[in-house]
Amino acid sequence: MSERDELENNAIDGEDEIGSLNHSTVQINLGGLLKFKCDKKLAVMSELSLDISKYDLSKYDLGVKEELKPDVCAYVKRPVIPKG
């Protein structure tokens, strides 16, 4: 197996935290599409760390309890950053 094949396989099966070039390309294209095709009315951000510790999301079987980090987030209004 070539070094390139090994790098691509690691990204696909989750062994590589950097991710794949394809994943990165799709992520940025989706964000741009949401931003510019929705009349720029959405606040679009990527890789936000969302605190979910106050919510019971067990029915969704996400495997996390404290934080979600979606590839792309879209909000009707830009989120307010709490002070403190």
pLDDT tens per residue across span 33-71: 998 888 878 899 998 888 999 999 889 998 888 999 999
Does residue 81 register a pLDDT over 60?
Answer: yes
Predicted pLDDT of residue 24:
87
Domain layout of the chain by residue ranges: 3-75
- Rounded CA-CA distance 81/50 in Å is 12
Average pLDDT over every residue of 5-21: 58
Percent of the chain with pLDDT over 90: 29
The closest alpha carbon to 47, from 18, 5, 22, 84, belongs to 18
